[in-house]
């Protein structure tokens, strides 16, 4: 980005805005009016709320703040402020209807394209330096597009989404990778569109550890289920055991067993459970319990990022496991290209220098870490993106899923959610401390 001329940057921003909008339109045009306004789960907003909220955030930041233009619809700000109304209450608000929503977001976008035509990417004005606010808003839209995809997964009825299958898997020469540890630079101070919680870059010391080559698969996880994992308190933390009993969990969300065969629902299609695909729709507590049952643990966020970005041959921290170039279809399963995680081993070109695979894309990966600010954190440009969520209530997820766009899925990107949540496209991989003979090998 920093290499681009102002005209190049303007063109790049325009393409990103167009790409996120095409996805929003696709996800909302796929369903009828009833399905747009219905709440498919108490955990989610009606799709029409996400849609207008996308437009409202774009209006607030790009039309009013960056552009200094008159508001289009100040009267609806309150309805689409995520902090004013919990998701469960949103269907009963006097929301814009589907047609009004489409008109509103289109009018906002027309104004934004005019602002984009005239804006100077003045390095002295932080909000527009490297087109940051535009980057933030196109990422915001893409993040809500992933949320809307999760709503589609919860929706019942006839299937409406389809995509070609991802590449096939391959068998791996080793199920685990030894990571020597060391000091590395975590986070970033130079990614132009990195959000506040990814900043600043800071040195972190990581002890040697062992990490799974790929995420835990459905086949792996099924052994835990069949082995009575959900009935045995030994594998669960105290909070996890309390939750699994209270919520009566017996398997990942969307799994079912019929006459001894395991099935799953995927975007309203019933399928036999694909054993070589990363497990998903498990909560943090389930991930933690599986890891303990397997004699392992979850990686810390530091360990995850070290495995994903550290290049031991140069001592440098890379942007991505495969290097500094932005993700291509050969590297990672991103961008709703396939609408499912790829089987284990499907992305050899995406491997890190140490040989860890599928870190970016496929499934979000639960880490053992609470969501905390990095040393030197500064809330910017608004406290409600990250600051208000820091603390022990949220666990960090890394790497992005098949539903995450490449404009979001940076090696430094941090996601977070409550440890009981299962509707997101989240799985995990395990790590462990090395055995003495591995340390002295």
- Which residues are annotated binding-site positions? 53, 87-90, 140, 144, 417, 421
Query: Nearest distance from residue 8's CB to ligand AVJ, in Å?
Result: 28
Q: Please, which residue, 144 or 410, has the CB nearer to ligand AVJ?
A: 144
Per the annotation, binding residues for Fe cation are 53, 140, 144
Among candidates 31, 29, 16, which has minimal Cα distance to 140? 16
Query: Nearest distance from residue 300's CB to ligand AVJ, in Å?
Result: 19
Per the annotation, binding residues for gamma-L-glutamyl-L-cysteine are 87-90, 417, 421
Distance CA 216, CA 369 (A): 18
Query: Nearest distance from residue 397's CB to ligand AVJ, in Å?
Result: 9
Phi, psi for residue 183 in degrees, rounded to 5? -100, 135
Q: Which residues make Cβ contacts (< 8 Å) with residue 323, sequence separation at least 6? A: none
Query: Nearest distance from residue 174's CB to ligand AVJ, in Å?
Result: 33
Length of the chain: 441
Q: Please, which residue, 402 or 416, has the CB nearer to ligand AVJ?
A: 416
Q: Please, which residue, 56 or 218, has the CB nearer to ligand AVJ?
A: 56
Q: Please, which residue, 199 or 296, has the CB nearer to ligand AVJ?
A: 199
Query: Nearest distance from residue 387's CB to ligand AVJ, in Å?
Result: 12
Contact indicator for 76, 96 with CB cutoff of 8 Å:
yes
> Which spans of this chain sit near ligand AVJ (rule: CB under 6 A)?
140, 143-144, 147, 385, 415-416
Q: Which residue is nearest to ligand AVJ (CB)?
A: 143
Tokens of 363: 């499934």
Q: Please, which residue, 339 or 426, has the CB nearer to ligand AVJ?
A: 426
Full 3-state SS string of 313-374: CCCEECCECCECCCCCCCCCECCCCCCCCCCCCCCHHHCCCCCCCCCCECCEEEEEEEECCC
Q: Please, which residue, 230 or 385, has the CB nearer to ligand AVJ?
A: 385
Tokens of 130: 């490297």
- Secondary structure (3-state) at 30: coil
Question: Burial level of 419, CB count in 10 A (0-12/13-18/19+)?
Answer: buried
Distance CA 283, CA 226 (A): 18
Among candidates 337, 389, 335, 365, which has minimal Cα distance to 142? 335
Tokens of 357: 């695979």
Q: Is the dihedral of CA 361, 367, 371, 373 positive or negative?
A: negative
Query: Nearest distance from residue 363's CB to ligand AVJ, in Å?
Result: 15
Q: Please, which residue, 59 or 220, has the CB nearer to ligand AVJ?
A: 59
Q: Which residue has the tokens 């496209």?
A: 425
Query: Nearest distance from residue 129's CB to ligand AVJ, in Å?
Result: 21
């Amino acid at each position: 980005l920093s290499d681009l001329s102002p005209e190049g940057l303007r063109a790049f921003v325009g393409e990103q805005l167009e790409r996120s909008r095409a996805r929003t339109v696709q996800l909302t045009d796929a369903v009828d009016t009833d399905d747009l306004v219905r709440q498919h789960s108490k955990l989610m907003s009606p799709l029409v709320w996400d849609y207008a909220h996308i437009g409202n955030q774009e209006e607030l930041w790009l039309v009013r703040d960056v552009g200094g233009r008159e508001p289009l619809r100040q009267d609806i700000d309150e309805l689409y402020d995520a902090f004013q109304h919990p998701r469960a209450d949103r269907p009963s608000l006097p929301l814009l209807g589907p047609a009004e929503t489409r008109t509103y977001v289109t009018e906002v976008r027309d104004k934004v394209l005019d602002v984009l035509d005239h804006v100077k990417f003045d390095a002295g004005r932080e909000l527009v330096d490297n087109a940051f606010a535009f980057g933030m808003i196109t990422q915001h839209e893409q993040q809500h597009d992933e949320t809307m995809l999760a709503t589609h997964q919860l929706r019942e009825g006839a299937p409406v989404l389809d995509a070609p299958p991802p590449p096939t898997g391959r068998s791996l020469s080793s199920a685990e990778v030894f990571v020597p540890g060391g000091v590395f630079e975590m986070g970033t101070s130079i990614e132009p569109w990195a959000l506040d919680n990814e900043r600043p870059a800071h040195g972190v010391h990581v002890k040697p550890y062992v990490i799974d080559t790929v995420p835990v698969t459905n086949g792996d996880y099924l052994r835990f289920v069949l082995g009575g994992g959900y009935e045995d308190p030994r594998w669960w933390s105290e909070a996890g055991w309390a939750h699994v009993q209270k919520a009566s969990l017996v398997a990942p969300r969307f799994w079912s067993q019929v006459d001894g065969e395991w099935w799953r629902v995927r975007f309203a299609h019933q399928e036999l459970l694909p054993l070589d695909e990363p497990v998903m729709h498990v909560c943090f507590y389930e991930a933690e319990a599986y890891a303990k049952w397997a004699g392992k643990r979850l990686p810390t966020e530091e360990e995850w990022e070290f495995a994903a970005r550290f290049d031991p041959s140069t001592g440098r921290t890379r942007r991505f496991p495969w290097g500094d170039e932005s993700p291509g279809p050969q590297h990672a399963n991103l961008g709703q290209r396939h609408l499912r995680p790829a089987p284990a081993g499907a992305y050899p070109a995406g491997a890190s220098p140490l040989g860890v695979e599928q870190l970016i894309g496929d499934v979000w990966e639960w880490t053992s870490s609470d969501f905390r600010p990095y040393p030197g954190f500064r809330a910017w440009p608004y406290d409600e993106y990250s600051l208000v969520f820091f603390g022990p209530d949220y666990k960090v997820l890394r790497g992005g899923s098949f539903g995450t766009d490449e404009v979001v899925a940076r090696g430094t990107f941090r996601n977070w959610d409550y440890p009981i949540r299962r509707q997101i496209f989240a799985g995990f991989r395990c790590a462990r401390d090395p055995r003495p003979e591995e340390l002295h090998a």
